[in-house]
Amino acid sequence: MITIKSRSELESMARAGEIVATALKLVEEAVRPGVTTLELNRIAEDYIIRQKAVPLFKGVPCPINGGPDFPGTICASVNDEVIHGIPGLRELKDGDIISVDMGASFDGYCADAARTFAVGNISESARRLIEVTEQCFYEGMKHAVKGNRIVDISRAIQRHAESNGFSVVRDYVGHGIGRELWEAPQIPNYVTRERGPRLEPGMTLAIEPMINQGVYNVKILRDKWTVVTADGKLSAHYENTIAVTGGEPVIMTKLRGEGT
């Protein structure tokens, strides 16, 4: 069931969103050659806990039978890792890209966001992938308005990615969000047979393009969490939690003072 949020609920989600956005900024500032993904995880977790919020990813049950609960506050996905990379002792190298995804709840309400960061000096093709992936989110968000359907968001994302020579991951999608991290509706980043529900003010959505340099196919590693591109080429991820309003959509995972 899709839930419509009240003004007070949206305020709580916006506070959770500010916490997530600030934690991502702290991680971005720490990204450099030689840093481990575990250290980036510590930075995010320490900040979220200091804000009296709850890291949402830590302890999430594995969707694959027999797999471990997710151990990190962040998903740290490097280069060909699409999503769900487990933080560890891996040191980032000059030229890498890293996608960092995280969620937090505050006062019982959730926010979720992701960014892809450059590590040192990256190739022009990698930089273009990051830029196009971010713009895919904004192209999709333009259509997150009252009266449109989910497919309008999906179409805009897919068109922008494919018109720039990239592919859209099919196996994982965006989602509704609120009291729970994952709520209805699903938000594919590509057009499906389902048009999805009409958007109404008070809906809150996590729109998250996952865009690959090569084919859209992915596979899961033996750790039963990390998703990688099937051809070993780079992938990027960009996500925000947004609210549908009577006018333009509002990004909730933003730093204090940032615009919509």
* Per-residue H/E/C for 79-98: CCEEECCCCCCCECCCCCEE
pLDDT grade for 190, boundaries at 50, 70 and 90:
very high
DSSP reduced 3-state for 22: helix
Indicate if the pLDDT at residue 22 is higher than 80. Answer: yes
Mean of pLDDT over the chain = 97
Indicate if the pLDDT at residue 260 is higher than 70. Answer: no
Asked if 85 and 226 touch (Cβ cutoff 8 Å), the reply is yes
| pLDDT recorded at residue 259 | 66
Q: Which residues contact 165 (CB under 8 A, 6 or more apart)?
A: none
d(CA 160, CA 112): 23
Give, in order, the Cα–Cα distances in Å from 170 to each of 52, 157, 229. 35, 12, 11
Asked if 177 and 3 touch (Cβ cutoff 8 Å), the reply is no
Indicate if the pLDDT at residue 230 is higher than 90. Answer: yes
Indicate if the pLDDT at residue 257 is higher than 80. Answer: no
CA angle 67, 72, 75 (to 5 degrees): 90
Ordered by where they begin, the domains of the chain are: 7-251 (3.90.230.10)
Percent of all residues in the chain with a pLDDT value above 90, rounded to a whole number: 97
pLDDT grade for 55, boundaries at 50, 70 and 90:
very high
Indicate if the pLDDT at residue 168 is higher than 80. Answer: yes
Q: Which pTM value belongs to this model?
A: 0.97
The amino acid that residue 32 corresponds to is R
The DSSP line for 184-217 is EEEE-SS--S---PBP-TT-EEEE--EEESS-S-
